[in-house]
Amino acid sequence: MKNKNGYFGEFGGCYVPEALETVLKEVESNFFKYIEDPDFLEELAYYQKQFIGRENPLYFAERLTEKVGGAKIYLKREDLNHTGAHKINNTVGQVLLAKRMGKKRIIAETGAGQHGVATATVCALFGMDCTIYMGEVDTKRQELNVFRMELLGAKVVPVTFGTKTLKDAVDAALIDFVENADDTFYLLGSAVGPHPYPIMVREFQSVIGSEARRQILEVENRLPDYLIAAVGGGSNAIGLFHPFVDDQEVKIIGVEPAGKGLDTTEHAASISLGSVGVLHGFKCYTLQDEDGEPLPVHSIAAGLDYPGVGPEHSYYHQSGRGEYVSITDKEALDAFFTLSKCEGIIPAIESSHAIAHAIKVAKELTKDKIIIVNLSGRGDKDVQQVKEMIS
Ligand SMILES: *Cc1c(COP(=O)(O)O)cnc(C)c1O
């Protein structure tokens, strides 16, 4: 396995206090042990199939392809997973690890609530005690997701210090983790954070790219020319990209949220406009002020507004293996409507960023080229917000 030491070039690492480092070492050694244990992998495969509903299709978007008039566009249908997005791939993997480690209690942070719901879901599945930390501001903005988590048996703790948003929820979860590590596992939601989380989340999400690789070889008998995915923390993107990274002919494009535009302060384009720094215990491209504090971020997509990006993406940007671009709120919204009308698939507003860029790229290519877009989630959760925006 690559990057076992937690570094991707200069990025990644584990910049945390000693007490936390000790706890993370336990997670790390267990992860590396079980990820090569046939028994563990068999159990993971069972729940991927029977609970998540994998494998999901690699769908040829024929009408969209015709409309755009260029490269063939395939959609990796993560929206068809149980709970409607890719996040469940990671929570199933980590909860199985926690179980093997003998932990009884799971904690997690959540911003918009999607990772909280995916975590509460797997805790219900395995009868684990579940506590979700959520900024108080976010609990009010996302009342329905709070109720969903409670329905699933989780306790949602509103965080009332600092800015009362995601950043503070992460801090609260880390404090709990250090204090209760004996029986508690911290289930992190994206390919970010201190080692071993970025590599662990990548491995659990790589099922996306492994399936897509097999599927495209089956229908087209060759690898795709482009892979395109939306990048928040970067988990769905790295999950698609990683199994193709050594195939130099396959171009990799990550799409960041440009929000109201890169010439405004309302975006979350960490690679496009950020600088190198340490955020939440790891080194990456981050949007920071002069004191290294994370800047406020904005995106129409709640799942994309994070002021940093996973270390592996930071490295692919620096090394040139990946290209990182951005799409505005408005462009994402247009793609949301286009895919809905054209294919009968309402995409998550996060995934709509990837669709928007894929349309731009496909237009410039000949019809023999192939693009795979990660349709990271379904858009049911966004319908109300979009309705309010346009009325
Ligand atoms: C959370 C989320 C994202 C962004 O998270 P990554 O870790 O960057 O994948 C993208 N799409 C959907 C549907 C999400 O729920």
Pocket test for ligand 1, best of 235, 270, 312 (most atoms within 8 A of CB): 235
In this predicted structure, what is the pLDDT of residue 163? 85
In this predicted structure, what is the pLDDT of residue 268? 95
Distance 295 CA to ligand 1 centre (A): 20
CA 144/CA 60 separation, integer angstroms: 33
Q: What percent of the chain has pLDDT over 70?
A: 100
Supply the residue whose CA is at minimum distance from atom 4 of ligand 1: 232
Give me the mean pLDDT over the 302-319 stretch. 96
Domains and CATH numbers, the chain: 8-48+86-201 (3.40.50.1100), 54-84+206-390 (3.40.50.1100)
Distance 235 CA to ligand 1 centre (A): 7
User: pLDDT tens-digit profile of 128-173?
Assistant: 999 999 999 999 988 999 999 999 999 999 999 988 888 889 999 9
Supply the residue whose CA is at minimum distance from atom 2 of ligand 1: 303
Q: What are the backbone angles phi and psi of residue 246, rounded to the nearest 5°?
A: -80, -5
User: Catalytic positions, please?
Assistant: 87, 109, 376
Distance 303 CA to ligand 1 centre (A): 5
Distance 87 CA to ligand 1 centre (A): 7
Residue 391 has pLDDT above 90, yes or no: no
Confidence band of 68 (pLDDT split at 50, 70, 90): very high
User: pLDDT tens-digit profile of 85-129?
Assistant: 999 999 999 999 999 999 999 999 999 899 999 999 999 999 999
Q: Where would I find the H helices in the chain?
A: 18-34, 38-47, 62-68, 87-100, 114-126, 136-141, 143-151, 166-180, 197-205, 207-220, 235-241, 270-273, 311-319, 329-343, 349-363, 383-390
Supply the residue whose CA is at minimum distance from atom 14 of ligand 1: 303
Supply the residue whose CA is at minimum distance from atom 3 of ligand 1: 303
Prediction pTM value: 0.98
Distance 236 CA to ligand 1 centre (A): 6
Pocket test for ligand 1, best of 190, 231, 382 (most atoms within 8 A of CB): 190
In this predicted structure, what is the pLDDT of residue 165? 86
Q: Pocket around ligand 1: residues whose beta carbon is below 6 Å from it? A: 85, 87, 114, 190, 230-237, 303-304, 348, 350-351, 376-377
